[in-house]
Amino acid sequence: MSTTNVAVKSAFLSKINWAQAIGFAAMILSTFGIDLDDKTRADILAGIIGLQGAITWILRTWFTTTVTPTVAGK
């Protein structure tokens, strides 16, 4: 078994976690916080979900250089 040292950071500082949290908040606001007709609400939610997925994919693929302590422990 070999040992590798890797940089770790807090999950609180994770760009992916923040992207997901912001997307979740936007979905909650568009569902409960704004009085819109059903079609407009569905269009906004579809846009939020698509953008959230794309941002997460981009951040994970090209902008993640560290691992969390949980992953490092495996």
Residue 10 backbone class (left: φ over 0; alpha: ψ -120 to 50; beta: rest): beta
Query: Does some domain include residue 40?
Result: yes
pLDDT digits (tens, 9 = 90+) for 14-45: 888 999 999 999 889 888 888 888 899 899 98
What integer pLDDT is reported at residue 36 of this predicted model? Answer: 85
Going by C-beta distance under 8 Å and a sequence separation of 6 or more, which residues neighbour residue 23? 48, 49, 51, 52, 55
Residue 55 predicted with pLDDT over 90: yes
Domain for residue 70, yes or no? no
With respect to residue 45, please indicate whether it lies within any of the assigned structural domains. yes
Q: Note the pTM of the prediction, 2 decimals.
A: 0.67
Rounded CA gap, 73 and 3, in Å? 11
pLDDT of 2 > 90? The answer is no
What total of structural domains would you count in the chain?
1
Q: Which two tokens stand for residue 68?
A: 């969390």
Q: Is 72 domain-assigned?
A: no
Query: What's the pLDDT band for 53 if we cut at 50, 70, 90?
Result: very high
DSSP-H helix ranges across 1-74: 15-28, 38-62, 69-72
